[in-house]
Amino acid sequence: MNTILVIALILAMAATLFALIRGIIAFLQTTKEELNLPEGTVRPSSLKQNKMMLNRILFQAAAIIIVAILLLSKGH
């Protein structure tokens, strides 16, 4: 059981790192044309940034839950 949780934790941490890097890359790829769009216009790069950062938060939450389960199982 602990082995499966440790593997799941490693995968959640790797997914968090991947989503973070993708979000930073999306941020860096924002063009001047997108920045000069009228206020209120939905920018494609902004949507991608938001999606990647939301994924990062979800993967972090999963990793924290797995760590909590591991700590609870070690306590018994």
Read off the pTM.
Answer: 0.80
Domain boundaries, the chain: 1-74
- Which amino acid is located at 56 in the chain? R
Q: Is 49 exposed, middle or buried (0-12, 13-18, 19+ CB in 10 A)?
A: buried
Please state, rounded to an integer, the average pLDDT across all residues of the chain. Answer: 89
Q: Are 56 and 14 in contact (CB under 8 A)?
A: no
Q: In this model, does residue 24 exceed pLDDT 80?
A: yes
